[in-house]
Every structure is written in structure tokens, then in C-alpha cells.
Amino acid sequence: MPPEDQSHKRPVVTRFAPSPTGALHIGGARTALFAWAYARKHSGRFILRIEDTDRKRSSPESTRGIIRDLAWLGLFSDEGPKYPCMKSACGCGKGPDEDFDPYNRQLGDNGPYFQSQRAEQGIYDHYVDLLLEAGEAYEEDGAVRLKMGDHRGDIVFTDAVYGEIKVKAADLEDFVIRRGEDGGKLPTFHFAVVVDDALMGVTHVIRGQEHLSNTIKHAALYDALAKITEDNVTWARPVWVHTPSIINPGGSKMSKRDKAKVVRAYCKNQIEEIGRDEFISTVSGVDLDILRIPDDEAPDGVNLSDMDFAEFIDGTSDDMNTGNYIARKCNLTLPEINVDDFKRAGYLPEVCLNYIALLGWNPGNDLERFDLDFLKQHFDLDRIGKSNSTFDREKLKAFNGDTLRALPADDFACLLADYVKAYRQDWGEAGVFNGDDWQAFCAAVQERTHTLPDPLDANAYLIKSDDAIQYDFTPKPVRKAMTGNGGAGIRLLEELRAVFDGLPEENFGHAAHETINKTAEAAGINMGKYAQPVRIAVSGSTVTPPLDVTLDLLGKSATLERIDRCLAEAKTHMETHA
């Protein structure tokens, strides 16, 4: 008989236990959120533990990224490695150090919180020895295996989401708990996870359903270890809570492969259209022969070997070094998969959390919008569903837009300025994101922003050089406003140009706007007839924020320069299309 489940009688302890082998996936963030919320709801503790026993695949960069992303989401642990110096939290004003040493700052009484360090301290060896002594495990070819089969009996456990799981003794094989010499005598994932959860007092193991089948082994380990009495450790099984998978609308599991798929589909399409060799040389920007040189002999600047490329295209490899390289070269937008992708794409942390909480958890009453405080009060296990949850990007975007729209104007302006500083150096260098003009721009675009880069992309003309604005007089609205009706718009623009010339540079946009109003009124013509040609001249399109704001940001000389170019091109267009 397995020992009685005591977990409900102990203070709640949950943990998030990522393997630092890559970036924090949005599904990992949901696991962390559920574990965090459950601990908060029950006034318990939430632990961050780094499972880095796979030395080859683990990296400090990945650990740093995971800690940074959790901090961005606001999911702070009570124990574990800590994010250094959150600007808002510590107030030193220095801001976070992106290169922090993740091993250096670990807080809590149950450390260290890196399994590599725990292994070095001999924590796992100690329990392996006890199991060997007790006859629960044995050594073969240097590896230690846990006895299963008739020795252990049938294994039954109840998952809080998926219900009772039962496997017969005859179907259970002995399994390795510590690898042999070749594996560095390191504990396997199964063993380390169980020992650590028990030593750290974890009462609720919340994790993705891909671990459901592993849980049979974990249950067996708890039972075996429970036979070894040690005063200070409770080997009672925890409550297991496995969360449903997050899937794409097409039904596939949402994974980093989705990015590779997009890149591969693009490559295949291009190869079909322009031929393989031609495409490779476009991508690499270098001669195909140079590309064929192996990586380690390639001259500087050649980052993609023919081999990498071939393997990526035929699907042998999903290596995103190659994928990202091609995506950058070809300006592809890849689907957001990791927390950092969503951050870069201009989503807000609170919106991400709200949205991912709905993937698999249902707060009831058709409620959809809530914050972390709500989760702290209401999150519980009984409303986690079994069926896979579809990641709906449009819905997330709509949530993000709603939240951005509802922000006080100043907050929105600050957020957008921070975003520009972090990810859009092109805007930063253009120096347009300071002062009143920036505030006015933000106020004008806030209403239509879904993700932070939207207004930057839609108004790219603001930071382009004057001669980079392209004019196309063929689309209907442009034709109507400019070249149509015998070039009526051209004449109105010329009329304005003459008045703009005499306006002061200070507050140019406001003065220009007034000019448009007055001129239109005096002429008895609809104001839009004057305004549209100006919009086209400064932006190349008929859609811009209000002209006073737009022209203030551009300034007088840029405005006049663009009007002149536009007039000249519009006239040429009319002559050639007469």
C-alpha cells in the first residue's frame, strides 16, 4: 500500500523546475503561473529549481533567460535563483544587469537550487546508497536501477486533472536512477526530481501533461524512498497536477518547431520560384562556392554552411540558428513561441499571463479578463480542464489592444518609449520619442495600437530620410486626392506649400494645421481635400495621425522637402500618364 497522501495537511509548496536548454516557452510560463498562483492562493511557498543535470544541453544563458522572463512576467519565487536588481523593486536606479551570474544569488533554506550543484554536494548519491543498501535498487554495468515488477507491485496514482492512473507490476521494468561512468554518474531526471521535490517539501507537482507517463516512475520512487526512514524528510507522494497541452489551431503542439516550419515553407517556395542556387546566394549574400566551404573554414561573415542549409530545408534539422539566420536575411516574421518572443513583439506581461491562464483553466462565469491579484484569490485545481487548449493569437492580440487602449496616456507613452529603447534603435536614433511631440504622437496612435510596434510600423515615414519616401499615384485614394480631376490636389498642395514656407519653425505642425483650416474655409472647399495631399506628401499614404501632430514631429524643413519631391513626382506622373 502506498503511504497515505499527506500533502493536503502540509503547508502548500509548489515549484517550477525548468531544464535550462533553451528559452522559456509560453507553455512553461503557464506551468510557472499555475504553480505560482496555487502557492499564493494557499499562502504557500513557490520554488524555482533549475534542472541542469543534462550538462551538454544546459547553459547559463538559458538559465539567465528563464529567470529574466519570469521576472518580466512578475512571477517571483520565494526560493531559488534570483533576478538581480529589478529596477522598480530595489530602487537603485541601475536597472537589471543582463549578464548576471545566476548561480550567485540563490535565496531560501532548501538550496542550492541547481541540480548540478546538488549533485556535486552528493545529495543524490546519498539516497542512491540508501536505496542500494535497502535492496530497493541494484547496480549493473555501473548504472543503478530501481527494482520494479513484482518487487514493487502495481502502481496506482491519482492525478488531480486526469484522474486515476494504474499500471500493472508486470508492465513495469526496472529503470536507471543513476547513470554509469559514461553519464558522469549523474542522477536521471526521474530520480533528481523526486529527491528534490521531497527534500524541498513540495506538496503539489504542477507540470505539463508530457510528464504524466513519467509519474509512474516517480510514484514508484516515492514508495521506495518511503521505506527508508530519515527523520527530517517526508516521502509522502505529492499531489500530481498535469496540465493539458497548448496546441496550434491546426491541432499540432505549439512548439519551437513552428518557427522552423515557417522558414522552411518560405525557402521551399523560393526554391521553386527562383531555383535553389539562386535562392541560396540571395540568402547568403555571397557566392555559392564560398558558402560550400565548411563552417570552421568560412571567411568572416559567412554564417550558413551548405550543409546546415540542406539539413534545414529537408527537415533533418530544426536548428533555429539556421532558421533565424534565414529569417533575418529574408525579413520573415516568425510565430511567437517563447516568452521573449511575445515581449519583443510588443505584448504586455499582464496580458500574456491573463491569456495563458485561460489555456486550460476556467475561472467560471464566462470571465475572461483578470489580473494576478485575481488569480491569487481564485486560482484552484478543480477548474483545470483535460482537453488541449488552442492558442488563439487573434484573441491574445485583442486582449493586448484592449489593455493598451485602457492605459492612461502617460503610461502608454512611457511603455512605447521603453519599447523603442529596447527594440527599436532606429526610432531611438531618430530622436523623435522625447517631449511633447512624442506625447502627442502616442495620444494620437493609442486607440489603434494592438501591439507596441504597430504605431512604429504604421508610421515608419516619420523616421525615414526625406528622399526615402516613395510615392505611388496609382492606388485609388491617392489618385483621387492628388492626380485625379486634372491634378486638383496638386494645385491645392502647391497653394499650401507657398503659405507653409512663411510659417515659423516652432510649432510648425500646429501652424500648418491652422493654415489648412483657414485656407479651406476661405476657398469654401472641404478641409480633407487640402489635408490628403499633405498626408500623401509626407508619408506616401493617405493615413497618418492628425496632421498637426505628424507635422510637428517631422518639422518644417522635412515637410517642405517632401512636399517638393511629391509635387515633382506627381507632375511627372501626370505627364507620363496623360
Are 381 and 35 in contact by the 8 Å Cβ rule? The answer is no
- Give start and end residues of each alpha helix (H) in 255-305: 257-274, 276-284, 288-291
Cell numbers found for residue 156: 496506482
Helix axes 349-357, 60-73, angle to 10 degrees: 90
Q: Rounded to the nearest 5°, which phi and psi values hold at 208?
A: -65, 150
Least gap, CB of 86 to ligand GLU (angstroms)? 24
Could you say which residues in the range 205-234 bind ligand GLU, by CB under 6 A? Answer: 205, 207, 211
HEC readout, 127-172: HHHHHHHCCCEEEECCEEEECCHHHCCCEEEEECCCEEEEECHHHC
Q: Is the CB of 19 or the CB of 541 nearer to ligand GLU?
A: 19
Q: Is the CB of 22 or the CB of 489 nearer to ligand GLU?
A: 22
DSSP per-residue letters across 426-487? HHHHHT-SSHHHHHHHHHHHGGG-SSTTHHHHHTGGGTS-GGG------SHHHIIIIIHHHH
Whole-angstrom Cα distance, residue 378 to residue 529? 56
Q: Is the CB of 47 or the CB of 304 nearer to ligand GLU?
A: 47
* Binding range to ligand GLU, per CB under 6 A, among 17-25, 222-230, 390-398, 516-524: 17-25
Q: Is the CB of 57 or the CB of 386 nearer to ligand GLU?
A: 57
x/- binding map, residues 46-85, to ligand GLU, per CB under 6 A? -----x----------------------------------
Neighbours of 146 (CB within 10 A): 27
Least gap, CB of 207 to ligand GLU (angstroms)? 4
* Binding range to ligand GLU, per CB under 6 A, among 15-23, 79-87, 275-283, 556-564: 15-23
In 3D space, the residue among 181, 190, 184 whose CA is nearest the CA of residue 137 turns out to be 190
Least gap, CB of 39 to ligand GLU (angstroms)? 14
Q: Is the CB of 51 or the CB of 308 nearer to ligand GLU?
A: 51
196 is a site residue for ligand GLU (CB under 6 A)? no
In 3D space, the residue among 342, 344, 328, 327 whose CA is nearest the CA of residue 262 turns out to be 327
Q: Is the CB of 152 or the CB of 190 nearer to ligand GLU?
A: 190
Q: Is the CB of 58 or the CB of 322 nearer to ligand GLU?
A: 58
Q: Is the CB of 158 or the CB of 470 nearer to ligand GLU?
A: 158
193 is a site residue for ligand GLU (CB under 6 A)? yes
Whole-angstrom Cα distance, residue 163 to residue 212? 11
Least gap, CB of 203 to ligand GLU (angstroms)? 14
Least gap, CB of 245 to ligand GLU (angstroms)? 13
Least gap, CB of 189 to ligand GLU (angstroms)? 7
Could you say which residues in the range 537-556 bind ligand GLU, by CB under 6 A? Answer: none
Q: List 145's β-bridge partners, or say none.
A: 138, 176
Q: Is the CB of 51 or the CB of 223 nearer to ligand GLU?
A: 51
For 534, what's the count of Cα atoms within 13 Å in the CB-facing half-sphere? 31
Whole-angstrom Cα distance, residue 375 to residue 36? 9
* Binding range to ligand GLU, per CB under 6 A, among 16-24, 98-106, 268-276, 429-437: 16-24
Q: Is the CB of 15 or the CB of 513 nearer to ligand GLU?
A: 15
In 3D space, the residue among 158, 146, 139, 114 whose CA is nearest the CA of residue 225 turns out to be 146
In 3D space, the residue among 198, 202, 204 whose CA is nearest the CA of residue 233 turns out to be 198
190 is a site residue for ligand GLU (CB under 6 A)? no
Q: List 50's β-bridge partners, or say none.
A: 114
DSSP per-residue letters across 496-559? HHHHHHTS-STTHHHHHHHHHHHHHHHHT--HHHHHHHHHHHHHSSS--S-HHHHHHHH-HHHH
Least gap, CB of 125 to ligand GLU (angstroms)? 20
Least gap, CB of 31 to ligand GLU (angstroms)? 7
E strand or H helix at 239, and its extent?
A: strand 239-243
Least gap, CB of 11 to ligand GLU (angstroms)? 20
Least gap, CB of 66 to ligand GLU (angstroms)? 10
Q: Is the CB of 197 or the CB of 561 nearer to ligand GLU?
A: 197
17 is a site residue for ligand GLU (CB under 6 A)? yes
Whole-angstrom Cα distance, residue 337 to residue 345? 11
159 is a site residue for ligand GLU (CB under 6 A)? no
Residues contacting ligand GLU: total by CB under 6 A: 8
Q: Is the CB of 211 or the CB of 480 nearer to ligand GLU?
A: 211
Least gap, CB of 128 to ligand GLU (angstroms)? 19
Q: Of the candidates 18, 244, 323, 509, which one interacts with ligand GLU according to CB under 6 A?
A: 18
Are 150 and 179 in contact by the 8 Å Cβ rule? The answer is no
Least gap, CB of 367 to ligand GLU (angstroms)? 28
Q: List 164's β-bridge partners, or say none.
A: 158
Using CB under 6 A as the criterion, which residues of the chain lie in contact with ligand GLU when the complex forms? 17-19, 51, 193, 205, 207, 211
